[in-house]
Chain A
Amino acid sequence: MLSRTADNIYWLARYVERADCLARILDVAQRLSYLPVTYGGSTNEWSSVLLTAGCADAFIEKHGPIENATEENVVSFLALDPENPTSIRNCFEVARTNARSVRTALTSEMWDAINASWIELRGFPDRALTREELTRFLAFVKETSLRFDGAMHRTMLRNDAFWFARTGVHVERADNTARILDVKYHVLLPDEEKVGGPLDYFQWSSILRSVSALTAFHWVYRDSVKPWLVADLLILNRAMPRSLASCYENLTNALDDIADLYGRQGPSQRLARSIRARLTNQTIDDVFHTGLHEFITDFISDNNKLGAEITDQYLI
């Protein structure tokens, strides 16, 4: 297929995924902000939202120092602000522009999922949303990604276009999960004094919620929420769809499918395999032993490297 087509599909999938992640982050932050401070509600929650979303620089440019972050300005900045290049609104814009460029490579159901949401998005106002509007908006965003993913799975041929889309989804998802961990890693570090306090419970469970994993946690561990188990679930557990291990399992499979079709392995396949090996050959104790923060920082940089390798190998 055309390299540009592959590129558009890859980024289309990434932006839909990104919008979904932003919606989850906002959802959780809003939930935390309802809590009294003694239960983990924190005054700087909104600046950490900006960090997780990777939008701190753009925010500072528009609103000044990050301490200025409030619920109102962060929500409008991340949700609908046309000036924020990675607001949910702009994610949808970019996703649709990409989709429009490669309509021929999409099924009509996929196009419909994206185009219909883009049309619906225009019904939301530019001003700050009320809490009810925001709830409705976030539900709409998550539904869009469900529809889009569903359409992709149900209607696309299993060929390179499909695998490039899957590659985009998982590079983006891995990045988002890693960012959530990066911003919140300190609450996962073992600290004997605090363990079991209400503050941590809400922090930890909010991390789980941000990746839709609170119920999954209980099914997997049949235990109360503990920080190392949260880390284990999000980093190493292959059964958890948003874990780094699961993302890399899917990534290596998609990249291998592409390599099989084209009859040639390349640097992106090799890099994906080596990152995956690191996620399968370690226990969570090893990770904590070598340092959770370093582990996550390295992962984010490796994941970015993989994105660059994929681009070099296929997309230009």
Chain B
Amino acid sequence: MRRIFDEMSGEDGDIRPAYETLSAWLDKVPREVLDQRRKEAEFIFRRIGITFAVYGEQNSQERLIPFDIVPRIITNTEWAGLAKGLEQRVKALNLYIKDVYSKRDVLRAGIVPEDLVYKNPAFRPEMNGQRVPHDLYVHIAGIDIVRTDPDTFYVLEDNARTPSGVSYMLENREIMLRLFPELFSMHKVAPVDKYADDLLATLKSLSPRGGSEPNVAILTPGIYNSAYYEHSFLADKLGVDLVEGRDLFVKDNVVYMRTTEGPKRVDVIYRRLDDDFLDPLAFRPDSVLGVPGLMSAYQAGNVTLTNAVGTGVADDKAVYSYMPDIIRFYLGEEPILPNVPTWRCREPEHLKYVLDHLEELVVKEVHGSGGYGMLVGPKSDKAQIEVFRAKLKHDPDNFIAQPTLALSTCPTLVDEGVAPRHVDLRPFILSGSDRVRIVPGGLTRVAMKEGSLVVNSSQGGGTKDTWVLDACARRARAPQT
């Protein structure tokens, strides 16, 4: 098996230049200090209330995501390449969704099979022929990136619905600044706190009403949602109202919020609520989280929803496998960021290959998320593999498979000391009517268990602060102490 690439010590144990200062510091700093800081970080997280809920677990209404205090470092040259690739990817996603809901050139050209659109549960016929402001659908995207060697970053997954995690990116940095000022003085780290401004500018640029100052609101399912902290955090940072469905009502196709001074018109809704729950009149009639009539107000062009309705048609794992072709088709460019090779179990030859190689593959549900319902072949026993084999045969369309990648690792503080653990990266890409904005870095998720490849917070994964570093920031001299 190939050596695993560690982002600090490479494949051969030589400390990579970007990590030199950090590595020297880690060698020097006593273990007790690290443990102490880790405890402080946990205390701050709990005190601020940065918690999340895990569905299907009793008595765990609020849990902390483990925070690892060792930062992950990316150089700004690496980042520049990533950012270009991310912008390209999101442009293609937007063009694809626009096409799917209008002319469907992509189907006619045979790039994507029809049933991936029409039979896709996330496809919204209500969006057919519907124009959205500036033809933008995915205003806030989270593209998951993994790395296997110094030069290769793969896109692992596109999140075009309501990607979460950005509050951790921002809070992780705040906490690191508090706990390790000396580390920041030794590195030139690109700041991330502009994200809130960027997001607000993006949202305002999407207002359907010219002229007056747009009224932006964030729509949350409420305090029991697993990402509620993030919703309130963002509302706070943006200085906009955090609304629930019951705070809004629709009259004559215009959306208003109930305020202490009477109804106030709403122009842009950053909704953190799935399509299904948005409007009981248009979608699930049993939704009490949504707003009756919201969809007709949206269709009348009186309110902008971000992300647009129906973007899920572009981010499942089956469509993912077509993304390189989608990029070529709309942009006439080669994808800057490659896809992980993917077998579509819907295709008989692919299925046969997958069934023959289950022990070495990762098999995922097309519409799954959060690390649920997947098989990591090399980490599973015979019985688990057989259970999955049966599932696969029963409903092959529902699965894709990928090789088990040798994901890169980063130094991480665990019980045994600082040790390599697998990581991924979720940068957040904002598309406004004026331009695309990406804050350098993103959320690094880390699998805290040795050898584990599953970084999802619902499966015990943690997070790290992600530093995009000036390449020239290497200091010849260690700081005096």
Contact = CB atoms under 8 A, between A and B. Distances in A.
A26 to B, nearest CB: 28
Size bracket, chain B contacts:
20 to 34
A104 B236 contact: yes
B232 A115 contact: no
A103 B232 contact: yes
A6 B247 CA distance: 12
Interface of B: 46-49, 222-223, 228, 232-233, 235-236, 241-244, 246-247, 257-261
B261 A262 contact: yes
A6 B260 contact: yes
Interface string A240-274: 00000000000000000010001000000000000
A100 B259 contact: no
A121 to B, nearest CB: 14
A202 B243 CA distance: 51
Given A4-B246, A100-B223, A258 B260 contact: yes
Contact of A1 (B223, B236, B259): B259
A182 B157 CA distance: 65
A1 B232 contact: no
Contacts, number: 55
A116 interface: yes
Contacts of B223: 97, 100-101
B461 to A, nearest CB: 24
A221 B232 CA distance: 50
Interface of B is mostly: mixed
The 4 closest A-B pairs by CB, nearest first: A104-B236, A103-B232, A314-B260, A3-B258
B422 to A, nearest CB: 32
B236 A2 contact: no
A119 B247 contact: no
A125 to B, nearest CB: 17
A83 to B, nearest CB: 17
Nearest to A3: B258
Contacts of A116: 47
A160 interface: yes
A86 interface: no
Contacts of B261: 262
Interface of A is mostly: helix
Given A116-B47, A119-B46, A104 B260 contact: no
Contacts of B46: 119
Contacts of B228: 100
Interface of A: 1-6, 97, 100-101, 103-104, 108, 111-112, 115-116, 119, 160, 164, 258, 262, 314-316
A263 to B, nearest CB: 9
B245 to A, nearest CB: 11
Given A97-B223, A115-B47, A262 B260 contact: yes
B185 to A, nearest CB: 26
A229 to B, nearest CB: 41
Nearest to A115: B49
Given A103-B236, A104-B236, A5 B241 contact: yes
Contacts of B232: 100, 103-104
B260 A112 contact: no
B47 A2 contact: no
A108 B259 CA distance: 23
B47 A112 contact: yes
A115 B223 CA distance: 15
Contact of B260 (A3, A97, A100, A119): A3
9 contacts: A1-B260, A2-B260, A3-B247, A100-B228, A103-B233, A112-B47, A115-B47, A119-B47, A262-B260
A2 B241 contact: yes
A154 to B, nearest CB: 19
B47 A4 contact: no
B62 to A, nearest CB: 9
B247 A2 contact: yes
B247 A4 contact: yes
B171 to A, nearest CB: 12
A119 B49 CA distance: 10
Nearest to B246: A4
Given A97-B223, A103-B232, A160 B260 contact: yes
Contacts of B49: 100, 103, 111, 115
Contacts of A119: 46-47
A104 B242 contact: yes
